[in-house]
Amino acid sequence: MNTRTAVALGLGLAFAVTACGDSADDELEASDIDGSISMAVTEPEILIPGRQSVAFDFGMAVWSPLIYLELDGELNYIQAESVESDDQTTWTITLREGWTFHDGSPVTAQDYIDSWNAVAYGPNAFENSGQLANIVGFDDLNPAEGEPETDEMEGLNLVDELTFEVELVGPDSQFPVQLTQAQTALFPMPPSAFEDFDAYNEHPIGNGQFAMVDTYVESEPITVRAYEDYAGDPPNIGEITFVAYSDQVTAYTDALAGNIDVSGVPANRRTQAEDDFGADRNYNFEAPGMNHLGLPLWDERYDDIRVRQAISLAIDRETINDVVFGGAWEPATAWTPAVMPGTPEGICGEYCEYDPEAAAELLEEAGGFEGDMEIVFPGGSGQDDYYNAIANNIRQNLGIEAVAAPTVDWAEFAERRENAEIDGPFFSRWGALYPSQQATIREMYLETGGCTNCVPMYLPEIEEALAEADATGDESGEAYAAVHEILQENFPVVPMFFETYSYATSERVEELVTQPGGNPRLSHIVLVDED
Amino acid sequence: MSRFLLRRVIELVIVFIGVTFIIYAAVFSLPGDPIASMGGDRPLPDNVVARLRAEYRLDEPLIMQYLHYLGGLLTFDLGTTYDGRSIADQLAARWPTTIALALTAWALELFIGVVLGLVAGLRYGTLTDRTILFVTVLATSIPVFVMGVSAQLIFGLELGWVPIAGTSEGWPQAYVLPALIVALYGLASASRLMRGSVVDTLRSDFVRTLVAKGMPSRQIVGVHVMRNSAAPVLTFLAIELGFLLGGTIVIEGIFNIHGVGGLLFDAIRTQQGPLVVGVATALILVFLVVNVLVDVLSSVLDPRIRHD
């Protein structure tokens, strides 16, 4: 019998293969602080805070912000000792003494100025440079054509080793909130970073609670360990390992098996997460994400405000929330997320409630709706159930032939929306980086905002009301209610949901703590006592 | 033989240029702007987009972009992705994982396929033969993600025999389950081919002579039948190896194995033209080389096959 030959051949191959296997189990030195956790993330690729797009959790571990925004809205001064201004335009930032980067060099005002200039400098093409756009001199570093003549922003001035001044293009009461943790482009980089950004990306050095242990190698886990000389409050745990997953569902299953401690809950597991993990290991964190149903205001069928209101009335947000999001989201009743201070919840009033009869009547008053309706959303993003449900509501309650139409991918969707090549309602959301209503309003309702055509109605009144609120407002955010009133009167977009971000944990985690960004606050995680 | 080799190499170059151009053009023609979508749903500032477009020559016509890319290839420069990471480095990081997975799957497929085929061939027409056919075809007809996720839940979560995902536990634990699933899909073909071959060989004159001569059947099957039945299966399996090295996108995704398949998938999703072509080019090379090897091997194994 020839099985022997085959077995031998198989074993031979097996040995050949072993040589190619991974060897990532290097033993790491233990930290002084007990406890370590692992978190499932998307492959970050870019770790530099001025460039990253999916390395938030890593960034918040390795860097400390000037100010930490606490859950109750309090501004907790971390790296900054004070941030002050008399006129809301020129701000003086004073740093705390005795803080160091992980390479031992002190954190100085000059480091902040150099870092912000490098992020803003056009030829560097840093993806998150927009976070600095309101500083005087940003435009000089980003001329419409040609190379910039300078590499320094005029609006940044050194006062002494630990103090610098920032001049903004206009008064902005929310500037301190912009200095908080999720605006990663504002994190400081040490002098060594500027010599070679590629090298810095492989081994970023920050001023935060955790320092990177090894060099970053793509697709291998990233381990960060508590920084011994950290001048602020020490974290609860000594070590965090970020493990990249290409499929979120796999991460979810791995968390279920206890192989990974913290994982996001993918869209198609939302409804079963509580059954799988139990209520105390499944977390839904309020997030500064605002989910709208965008309307193609360039199409004259949507000119009549009653048509727009009718669409809003025809959608059963409660049921969609229960069926699609496992009840984790919150039906929207205003135009900015509820988590943002001062959001006037309920201002949308009757138009954000489900009332199919009123919807049908309103549409009839407006003269009905001609033709079919295609609800366009980015395909491959797991949102099919959500948009199918909206289409069903509109079809049943308004009698319009509505279908949900996914694009091939995100890129196609972004291009079509940007060029106004969509003739039906569409996906429109904005996840703000700092929980001030300003962040959402600025990006969604100003022509210069980042969310192009998310709400294609750019009213001068909104711009004025926003500028007014920015200049005169305070931390309560109540001044922004004026903007909501204008939106309510014009109804340019249908508010759908205040989003939450969902996480699940292994049995090792006693409590996962969040922060206003909706992400977990890993340094404050509480582990189950294992002794 | 050398003329044969030379001809194959020239063919290889032509196929190579044609295929890379087609792939380049296909990625180029995808809707949407790869730079604009780099920031996810958080658009990049206009000046950053403009600068990156210029840097990666995205404003130039397709043919110029392609020629520039080809020029880079001549100096062994695979280029960079649109966020500035070296494509060669990424490939180098991913290949070992994919090779480990592919060879494991291939070895399993070879071993199980040959054994099943042999058994089915020797028991031709019996219940055993039919059962093997039924089971292998059934396995092939289950969608791969259903098989993958179910296997994960059963062997990883419930029984805890193997890790659910990732390669951190190294070979073989982390690779056995995904490799077995990949192998399952080739088993029907491999075992059918082997079975047919065995049946043919068993009926041939020389086997009848050996039987008449009184040679023990263990020796007839083990030496003579095996050797003479192996050629078609080996050809099939060699080509199969080419496929396996191409990475198995779904399996790599489900089992969180960061191999070439996943890289290709991400590259297409983010419309990274140079990266797609880089991965595809490497795969084409593997395929072409494997093909040449198969041709050479089969002519060595079976002198009746001539290529000149």
By C-alpha distance, the chain B residue nearest A243 is: B166
State the average pLDDT over residues B251-255.
Answer: 88
The per-residue pLDDT for B301 is 66
Q: Is residue B25 part of a domain?
A: no
pLDDT digits (tens, 9 = 90+) for B133-166: 999 999 889 988 899 889 989 998 888 888 888 7
What integer pLDDT is reported at residue A29 of this predicted model? 46
What's the whole-number mean pLDDT along residues A264-271?
A: 88
pLDDT at A381: 79
Mean pLDDT of A280-303: 94
Residue at B21 is within a domain: no
> pLDDT class for A421, splitting at 50, 70, 90?
very high
Total structural domains within chain B: 1
Contact flag B34-A411 (C-beta cutoff 8 Å): yes
The residue of chain A with its CA nearest to that of B150 is A253
Mean pLDDT of B116-131: 91
What is the DSSP code string of chain B?
-HHHHHHHHHHHHHHHHHHHHHHHHHHHTSSS-TTTTTTTTSPPPHHHHHHHHHHTTTTS-HHHHHHHHHHHHHTT---B-TTS-BHHHHHHHHHHHHHHHHHHHHHHHHHHHHHHHHHHHHTTTSHHHHHHHHHHHHHHTS-HHHHHHHHIIIIIIIS-SS-SS-STT-TTHHHHHHHHHHHHHHHHHHHHHHHHHHHHHHHSHHHHHHHHHT--HHHIIIIIIHHHHHHHHHHHHHHHHHHHHT--HHHHHHTT--SHHHHHHHHHHTT-HHHHHHHHHHHHHHHHHHHHHHHHHHHHH-TT----
Q: Which chain B residues contact residue A413 at CB under 8 A? A: 32
Position A285 confidence tier, pLDDT thresholds 50, 70, 90:
very high
Kindly state the average pLDDT of the residues A452-472: 92
Closest Cβ opposite residue B256 in set A129, A130, A245: A245
User: Contact A30/A238 with Cβ under 8 angstroms?
Assistant: yes
**Does a structural domain hold residue B182?**
yes
Residue B134 lies in a domain: yes
B159 chain-A contacts, CB cut-off 8 A: none
Residue range B165-224, pLDDT digits in tens = 877 777 888 899 999 999 998 888 899 999 999 998 888 888 889 889 888 888 888 888
Note whether residue B137 is domain-resident: yes
Question: With an 8 Å Cβ cutoff, are B157 and A218 in contact?
Answer: no
| pLDDT score for B232 | 80
- C-alpha distance from A450 to closest chain B C-alpha (Å): 6
What distance in Å separates the CA atoms of residue A168 and residue A91, rounded to the nearest whole number?
A: 8
Reported as a single tens digit per residue, the pLDDT across A427-443 is 999 999 888 999 999 99
Q: Which SS3 state, helix, strand or coil, does residue A92 take?
A: strand
Which of B33, B51, B252 is opposite residue A122, by nearest beta carbon?
B51
Q: Which of B40, B90, B153 sits opposite A53 (nearest CB)?
A: B40
Write down the pLDDT at residue A513: 94
B256 touches chain A (CB under 8 A): yes
A283 contacts chain B (CB < 8 A): no
User: Smallest Cβ distance to B32: which of A24, A411, A431?
Assistant: A411
CB contacts of A442 in chain B (<8 Å) are none
Mean pLDDT, all residues of chain B: 84
Residue A21 pLDDT > 50, yes or no?
Answer: no
CA distance B215 to chain A (A): 14
> By the 8 A CB rule, do B246 and B59 touch?
no
Contacts of A46 in chain B (CB under 8 A): 83
What average pLDDT does chain A have? 89
pLDDT above 60 (res B263): yes
B19 lies in some domain: no
Residue B66 lies in a domain: no
How far apart are the CA of A246 and the nearest CA of chain B, in angstroms?
6
The CA distance from A41 to A63, in Å, is: 18
By mean pLDDT, which of A318-327, A450-459, B8-17 is the weakest? B8-17
Rounded mean pLDDT, A269-275: 89
**Whether residue A27 has pLDDT greater than 70:** no
CATH number of the domain bearing residue B268:
1.10.3720.10
Mean pLDDT value of segment B45-74: 83
Contact A415 B36 (CB under 8 A): yes
B1, pLDDT greater than 90: no
Would residue B245 be called left, alpha or beta, if left means φ above 0 and alpha means ψ between -120 and 50 degrees?
alpha
pLDDT at B288: 75
B-chain residues within 8 Å CB-CB of A450?
A: 42-43
Give domain status of residue B56, yes or no. no
The per-residue pLDDT for B61 is: 86
Domain residues for the domain of B119 are: 88-272
